[in-house]
Structure 1
Amino acid sequence: MLKSIESVQNEKVKEWKKLLQKKGRDTFNQYIVEGFHLVEEASKNPSLITSIIVRQDVTVPEWVPSSADVFEVSNEIAKAISDTETNQGIFAICKKQEHLIPKQANSFLLLDAIQDPGNLGTIIRTADAAGADVIILGEGTVDPYNPKVIRSAQGSHFHIPLIKGNLFEWVERLKETGVTVYGTALEGAEAYHTVEPKLPFALILGNEGNGVNPNLLEQSSQNLYVPIYGKSESLNVTIAGGILLYHFMNKAHS
């Protein structure tokens, strides 16, 4: 049944607006997704969705889960709950997922204080495309449910487990179970292409400005770098991460 809301002062609308901020997402344990592509991706797992919101001039798509509450809202409300300048007029309120490590997981991506939402979203999307099994989000990493992260990831949130954790504990845990842990560094490291990929593996990517915490690098099995042949001082973390992930994941698919 379609429910209509006209006022931005409605309590539901106030709650939805709070989901644009981390505090609100943490309070309600929910996040907001907008745009046809992302809402459709979320709809493939109906248990995640609590509500679908459509602007008055937008037709409710056939793929909307029957279990979700559907709200028709004014253009003013759509603007108020959107994180984009020009919204597509469709939104989903999703429950945060409780992710578990797949039993057969053999490829782990560990993220140390990735702060830019666009970078994190692109890394999640790249890891999904490369076929990585798990992403571990370390302390200082931007909230994965930030709207800009969600847009950059283009639906990969719904495909790959995202787990927050202490990276020092995770590195030790992985090494104890036979996982080779590769850090990334500019100094004291081996060129990535000289290293024969091994499964299972874990790869640590670091902060945009400071790189991986030096103490984490001391814990790793081996540290790698991506050679630069031109005049640039460094690669964006998303590009370096993509190169390294595909280098290792090629092993998994060969």
Structure 2
Amino acid sequence: MNKQISSIQNPFIRQLVQLKDKSRERKKNGLFLIEGEREIMLALKGGYGLETILFNPEIINYEQLNNLTTKQLNTIEITAEVYQKLAYRDTTEGVLAVAKCKEHNINELNFKTENPLILVAEAPEKPGNIGALLRTADAARVDAVIIANPKTDLYNPNIIRSSVGCIFTNTIVTGSTSEIIEFLKSKNIDIYCAALQASVNYDTQDFTRPTAIVVGTEDTGLSDEWLKNATQNIIIPMEGDIDSMNVSVAAGILIFEAKRQRRK
């Protein structure tokens, strides 16, 4: 018989609320919460370890629960009140998982191809933008997403939500700008920086070699260190009255131009 928890004052539930709400708790414990069937299945596919499944039988039945995984996992039945306390989304899917965080060390990044295509984002801060970048990366099936000088915890529930689970489908590593530039150069990967300064139109460049597309924040762009170390700075010509677009849109244009070239 499954263990049951009906009180939001239960110590374990209070600990999970802390995991949901506070980055430092996720980092300290090496755990985070996943909400929703699709996200849990993607996490399992991505090799994440799950510690516990919590479910509300009023929303999700046992057959659906059993379809999530063939592994024997610790499951806890929770009431609607407890579920609402833990759930982040407004939509009710009825199931959550406690998962183990992964290490995202750039030194452990290995490519399965000799001609990788990489998306690099420097200091992205808004969870919605990070989620959108991860969706773009998944759609293009890039070889890795590298986040330089991350400002936001990757396991922020808003990133998991806005990425629609693509945080689990991408190979993601982090590091300082200096570490990442050193890594890319050591692998002979061309560095194309999206920037206004000293730039050429993006569609004039050859992205068929090992390539990193680098984007910065919409507010400040890329740091000088990137611009100085670029193989070439590139720009998306714009015909409107403003000279900026959403970073995930820009990344999508650049990444899919690289994909188009590689199909020839």
- TM interval, shorter chain, is over 0.9
Give the aligned partner of residue 3 of structure 1. Answer: 3
C-alpha distance in 2, partners of 1:129/1:136?
Answer: 16
C-alpha distance in 1, partners of 2:50/2:7?
Answer: 23
How many residues align? The count is: 254
C-alpha distance in 1, partners of 2:86/2:136?
Answer: 28
- Preserved CA contact (<8 Å) 1:43 1:63: no
Residue 112 of structure 1: how far off its partner (Å): 0.7
1:180 has 2:193 as partner: no
Residue 192 of structure 1: how far off its partner (Å): 0.4
Give TM-score, length-normalised by structure 2.
0.89
Give TM-score, length-normalised by structure 1.
0.93
Give the aligned partner of residue 243 of structure 1. Answer: 253
Residue 46 of structure 1: how far off its partner (Å): 6.6
Q: Given the superposition, is the C-alpha separation of residues 114 and 199 from structure 1 closer, same or farther in structure 2, using an over 3 Å criterion? A: same
Query: In the alignment, which of 86, 110, 113 is matched to residue 102 of structure 1?
Result: 110
Residue 202 of structure 1: how far off its partner (Å): 0.8
Give the secondary structure class of the aligned counterpart of 1:223: strand
Give the aligned partner of residue 18 of structure 1. Answer: 18
C-alpha distance in 2, partners of 1:54/1:67?
Answer: 15
C-alpha distance in 2, partners of 1:192/1:212?
Answer: 16
Q: Given the superposition, is the C-alpha separation of residues 164 and 90 from structure 1 closer, same or farther in structure 2, using an over 3 Å criterion? A: same
Give the aligned partner of residue 45 of structure 2. Answer: 44
Amino acid at match of 1:29: G
Give the aligned partner of residue 67 of structure 2. Answer: 63
Residue 167 of structure 1: how far off its partner (Å): 1.9
Amino acid at match of 1:8: I
Give the aligned partner of residue 115 of structure 1. Answer: 125
Tell me the alpha carbon deviations over residues 133-175 of structure 1, each in whole angstroms, 9 at most, x when there is no partner. 1111111432221111111111222222111211222112212
Query: In the alignment, which of 80, 89, 103 is matched to residue 84 of structure 1?
Result: 89
Q: Given the superposition, is the C-alpha separation of residues 153 and 15 from structure 1 closer, same or farther in structure 2, using an over 3 Å criterion? A: same
Amino acid at match of 2:12: K
Q: Flag structure 2 segments of 5+ consecutive residues without an equivalent.
A: none
Residue 44 of structure 1: how far off its partner (Å): 3.3
Percent of aligned positions that are identical: 28
Query: In the alignment, which of 199, 216, 220 is matched to residue 210 of structure 1?
Result: 220
C-alpha distance in 2, partners of 1:41/1:169?
Answer: 29
Amino acid at match of 1:30: L
Q: Given the superposition, is the C-alpha separation of residues 76 and 116 from structure 1 closer, same or farther in structure 2, using an over 3 Å criterion? A: same
Q: Given the superposition, is the C-alpha separation of residues 207 and 39 from structure 1 closer, same or farther in structure 2, using an over 3 Å criterion? A: same
1:233 has 2:234 as partner: no
C-alpha distance in 2, partners of 1:41/1:221?
Answer: 35
C-alpha distance in 2, partners of 1:252/1:14?
Answer: 50
Residue 233 of structure 1: how far off its partner (Å): 3.0
Tell me the alpha carbon deviations over residues 223-250 of structure 1, each in whole angstroms, 9 at most, x when there is no partner. 1111112233311001000000111123
Residue 114 of structure 1: how far off its partner (Å): 0.6
C-alpha distance in 2, partners of 1:120/1:47?
Answer: 20
- The CA RMSD over aligned residues, in Å, is 1.8
- Preserved CA contact (<8 Å) 1:171 1:220: no
Tell me the alpha carbon deviations over residues 30-62 of structure 1, each in whole angstroms, 9 at most, x when there is no partner. 111112221232243575211111113121322
